């Protein structure tokens, strides 16, 4: 990492093809400040359900590959919906697998959390649960400003799933710039 160039990766917590959270994750590279690149990681749906018996036979290759990408990145951006007041199962499963790698890729890693919801709270409860998990994993979670995009139905193109709301885009630009400053320390 240099003073000017940073590389972030996005971990999407949704498996849905038409996910609003996916729309935000796809928009981030174009909203990144100068000197920052953002690339998507693979799908959390590629991981088998975590099972210590499977782990004993060897870490699955999608887990190894994603862990290496996270470890090599300057920061991790998690964009996820909220399911039943908490972390979606696929995302939690991915975190459980990735935490078994040595070295563990979340340790000391700057982490940014964003969420989108048609509801008013914008995924706030998921974010608080996810922050707890990253505290245990020694991640450096960026605390403020938070991105919890509520009332999201009106902020996306219904046909393409692309983020169209200019106010939200501007807020995300500022959020990414603040995260870049946080990573640079």
CATH number at residue 73: 3.40.50.360
If one counts the domains in the chain, the total is 1
How large a percentage of the chain has pLDDT more than 90?
88
Residue written as tokens 């796809």? 26
Residue 3 has a pLDDT of: 59
Residue 90's CB: how many other CB atoms inside 10 A? 20
In a domain, 119, yes or no: yes
70-107 pLDDT, tens per residue? 999 999 999 999 999 999 999 999 999 999 999 999 99
Q: Mean pLDDT, the chain, as a whole number?
A: 94
Q: Is 140 helix (H, G, I), strand (E, B) or coil?
A: strand
In a domain, 145, yes or no: yes
Residue 123 has a pLDDT of: 87
pTM, 2 dp: 0.95
Q: Is 3 helix (H, G, I), strand (E, B) or coil?
A: coil
Residue written as tokens 């038409």? 18
Q: Burial, 167: exposed, middle or buried (Cβ in 10 Å; 0-12, 13-18, 19+)?
A: exposed
In a domain, 113, yes or no: yes
Cα end-to-end distance, the chain, whole Å: 12
In a domain, 88, yes or no: yes
- In angstroms, the Cα distances linking 65 to 42, 43, 70, 71, 154 are 9, 11, 9, 10, 36
Q: Which residues contact 78 (CB under 8 A, 6 or more apart)?
A: 10, 11, 13, 91, 111, 112, 113, 114, 130
Residue written as tokens 């000017």? 4
- Residue 5: pLDDT over 50: yes
Give me the residues paired with residue 110 across strands: 140
- Residue 7: pLDDT over 70: yes
Using alpha carbons, select from 34, 36, 45, 35 the residue that is nearest to residue 11. Answer: 45
Residue 2 has a pLDDT of: 47
In a domain, 1, yes or no: no
- Residue 155: pLDDT over 60: yes
Q: Which domain holds residue 11?
A: 6-184
Using alpha carbons, select from 71, 17, 83 the residue that is nearest to residue 93. Answer: 83
> For residue 124, what are its two tokens?
């706030």
Angle between the 166-184 and 20-31 helix axes, to the nearest 10 degrees? Answer: 60
Residue 122 has a pLDDT of: 81
């Amino acid at each position: 990492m240099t003073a000017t160039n940073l590389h972030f990766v996005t971990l999407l917590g949704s498996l849905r093809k038409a996910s609003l959270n996916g729309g935000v994750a796809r928009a981030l590279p174009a909203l990144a400040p100068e000197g920052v690149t953002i690339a998507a990681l693979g799908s959390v749906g590629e991981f088998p359900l975590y099972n210590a018996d499977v782990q004993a036979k060897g870490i699955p290759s999608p887990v190894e590959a994603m862990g290496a990408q996270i470890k090599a990145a300057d920061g991790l951006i998690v964009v996820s919906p909220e399911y039943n007041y908490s972390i979606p199962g696929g995302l939690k499963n991915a975190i459980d697998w990735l935490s078994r790698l040595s070295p563990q890729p979340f340790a000391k890693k700057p982490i940014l959390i964003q969420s989108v919801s048609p509801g008013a709270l914008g995924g706030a409860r998921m974010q608080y649960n996810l922050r707890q998990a990253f505290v245990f994993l020694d991640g450096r979670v960026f605390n403020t400003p938070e991105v919890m995009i509520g009332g999201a139905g009106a902020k996306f193109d219904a046909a393409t799933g692309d983020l169209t709301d200019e106010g939200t885009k501007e807020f995300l630009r500022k959020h990414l710039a603040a995260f870049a400053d946080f990573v640079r320390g």
